[in-house]
């Protein structure tokens, strides 16, 4: 009995697909939650209020849930690899295992990227809040003078640059969310195509061409986003 038709193999693959779909949906919500928390921090800073602890707790709880799901998916991949070691090796079997590993790696990178982006935003908001607090303290102790005017103008410039960057980040996040949603659909289709490609070599060749085009489009999109980000930063520093 081959691994691809055995009940144990199919059970592992089914559970892996379910976990992948669940992680994909949670990563989309995780990204949106991180963006929303950043906006909450900025609003609280403008109103001279302490940031709410509730949303932060939700973000951390969701991060722990995703980490747990990623750990389960890692164990499933290990089980599939162990299962295949006792079976007749075939290109279709190895391709399936490799595909699941690539999906897991993509999820881990996306998760770490979202955490890093949120941390960077939070640190920037805390820094701006500290600057505003120092300016307010100086204003109350020294009164309005030329030096205070310079501080206020600089602060206004920082706020304007911050708003500009936040707008561009929001656009980029919205675009990324749309791409992630499209990726979910594409992955489901690709899984079906992979099953067919095990039977029809021509379909396997077509999938390889699609993967090459997908990587090329991702590279072009990354270069465009990087160039736009650099131009925005140069404009904000001008």
Residue 66: count of CB within 10 angstroms of its CB = 22
Angle of the 7-46 helix axis to the 91-142 helix axis, nearest 10: 10
For residues 232 and 119, what is the distance between their CA atoms, to the nearest angstrom? 21
Residue 39 has pLDDT above 50, yes or no: yes
Give pLDDT, residue 54. 60
pLDDT greater than 60 at residue 83: yes
Q: Is the pLDDT of residue 42 over 90?
A: no
Looking at the chain, the whole-number percentage of residues with pLDDT higher than 70 is 78
Per-residue pLDDT of 125-145, as tens digits, reads 888 888 888 777 766 665 556
The answer on pLDDT for 15 being more than 80 is yes
Residue 71 binned pLDDT confidence (cut-offs 50, 70, 90): very high
Q: Residue 72 burial by CB count (10 A; 0-12/13-18/19+): exposed, middle or buried?
A: middle
Strands (E), the chain: none
């Amino acid at each position: 009995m081959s691994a691809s038709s055995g009940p144990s193999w199919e059970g592992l693959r089914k559970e892996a697909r379910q976990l992948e779909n669940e992680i994909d949906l949670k990563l989309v919500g995780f990204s949106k939650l991180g963006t929303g928390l950043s906006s909450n921090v900025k609003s609280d800073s403008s109103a001279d209020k302490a940031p709410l602890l509730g949303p932060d707790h939700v973000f951390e709880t969701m991060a722990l849930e995703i980490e747990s799901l990623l750990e389960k998916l890692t164990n499933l991949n290990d089980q599939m690899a162990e299962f295949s070691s006792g079976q007749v090796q075939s290109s279709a079997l190895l391709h399936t295992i490799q595909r699941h590993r690539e999906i897991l790696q993509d999820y881990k990178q996306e998760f770490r990227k979202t955490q890093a982006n949120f941390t960077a935003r939070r640190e920037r908001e805390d820094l701006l809040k500290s600057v505003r607090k120092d300016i307010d303290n100086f204003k109350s102790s020294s009164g309005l003078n030329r030096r205070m005017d310079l501080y206020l103008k600089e602060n206004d410039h920082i706020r304007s640059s911050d708003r500009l960057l936040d707008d561009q980040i929001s656009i980029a996040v919205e675009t990324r969310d749309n791409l992630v949603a499209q990726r979910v659909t594409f992955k489901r289709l690709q899984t079906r195509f992979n099953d067919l490609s095990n039977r029809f070599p021509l379909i396997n060749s077509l999938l390889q061409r699609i993967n090459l085009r997908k990587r090329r489009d991702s590279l072009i999109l990354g270069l465009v986003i990087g160039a736009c980000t650099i131009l925005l930063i140069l404009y904000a520093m001008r």
